[in-house]
Structure 1
Amino acid sequence: MIGLVLRRLAGLVLTLVAVSALIFAVMNILPGDAAAIMLGTSASEDTLAALRSELGLDRPVVWRYLAWIAGVLHGDFGRSYTYGVPVSELIGERLSLTLPLAGIALVLSVLVSVPLGVAAAARRRGIIDGLATLFAQMSVAMPAFWVAILLIILFSVQGGWLPAGGFPGWQAGFWPALKSLILPSVALALPQAGVLTRVTRGAVLDVMHEDFARTARAKGIGRRMTLWRHVLPNAAGPIVTVLGLQFTFLVAGAVLIENVFNLPGLGRLAYQALTQRDIVVMQAVVLLLSGLVIVVNFLVDLLQMRLDPRLRATPA
């Protein structure tokens, strides 16, 4: 088990190195002058030369990559040319909003989809199954930004119960900050809940007909107890996999929602860096999101091995 984990960890490190090299190559080696892209073609040659020196563009590519990686390992992602502050400060501020937003959305998705998926599998071809299928299809089909606008109209413009946008910051108090994240979280969670409902239903149906489930029922254990104590834990593998993918998608895919609700999150920072040609910030954000996906997938693999002993016996 320990050897398998160490091999997976070595693969994680190699993947991170390969991804960092690819990101650096895309951002720095492709044709075009990064300084001219950031300052515009009307900038003077002296200004362009000064920015090239500041960004290290006048040095060899390999040296620039190694210097960048060394800085990243020490938490130094460089300095934003647009904002004039360290990129690590920008990312830290934005993550304080994006991570809670993604976490709340994931919790809402689980609270809705797992009970609904289990109930749909237990009442296959019944009314609940039909409603669950309809919910899954509709939630996946509706664009998240359209759901966000609809929520703003219903709960902010007409109802006046929740703020339509903006984020007061956690220093304004827990409840005011949480209120500003409720509607964005629902808009993010709805499509993911539809996907997770379908996955939960399918996984539970696959396990319900296993021998151990029939044996539990034959011993007199009730249908509900069998579902929640025996069937669902053994069907958790696909559900955990999808949850890991959904969390990374919620963090990386919140650009539209953060722009609709005017939230200063990581997605909005990436969008602003793209429009302002701030390559230093773009490079750091892409690396962070890529690393998050890789690390979460690694943790999901470990959890899968914990849930399914057969995976621990499978050669890596």
Structure 2
Amino acid sequence: MTTTLVTGSHGWVGTHLRRLLADRGHRVVGLGRRPWPADHGEQYLKVDLREASQVDAAVRAVRPDVVIHLAAALPQRGSGVEDLVADAVQATHNLCRALRATGTTSGSPARLVLAGSSAQYGAVPPELNPVTEETLPRPVGAYGHAKAAAESLALALGTDGRIAVTAARSFNHVGPGEDTATVTGALAARVAEVLAGRAARLRAADLDAVRDFTDVRDVARAYVELAELGRAGRIYNVCSGSGVSVRELLDTLLDLAGLDWAAVEVVDGGSDVRCQVGTAGRLMAETPWKAEIPLRASLRELLAELTSGFGPTTDEERHGMTA
């Protein structure tokens, strides 16, 4: 049985990933900074990845065959530059060092799937989209730079074969469990506030920005495929390959909620990244993965989750909602 350690195991992506790994027969060990109860059949370790001694002890205790490294601070949650860098670079360094020193029960090098971000690509000119793994990165903030540094560090430490590092660069996620730290989560929460009667209108900005959205469960499945089939030293985009503007995204949410644009107040504000659409051709060529869950279905589930506390949750039951 494959022992798989998931860092950031009880976050949004980690929660979906743990279920999928268990379904595929992995022995799952979760790891994070906060205390969490272990689910049935799982083990959980409370570890600060920025503390090398804690990481060394955890890796020696688990001796994982696979590590899927999700843990990271996010700028949307107010993390400062030093935390963004420490959580990306220092934590990844500690984890790689521990894996290199410990080895696995099977004797094969531990496989590390490093969850990176499309923020590493940053402000790619619109005419250079869709973005491939060979596209020159142009990160515009501390998070993108820190994730790029962590990726380079991990790939460097894997060059001698003592660990097998596969890097994923994931584009925007969407779906159940999403919080308001993301553009989709924030817009869906504001739509839910209007539906609940707690707000008369919702504010939205940067409507012309274009992004590539993939359901969080498809993203989790990509990480499992990479853990099993990804090539060491290789970088893979995880994305749908479809560009959707924030305007289209909000239009779909309004349609699902039975609202119209009269409920929207457009305000100033915008991102330095105007268009970011990827291609997952490499991932699809080298593994069985493809994005399967349509964006509308992801948004429908997210909105139903957010509105379940004050009314019906299905499209048929909720006034004005359509499938």
Shorter chain as normaliser: what TM range?
A: under 0.3
TM-score for both structures, normalised by structure 2: 0.23
Larger radius of gyration: 1
TM-score for both structures, normalised by structure 1: 0.24
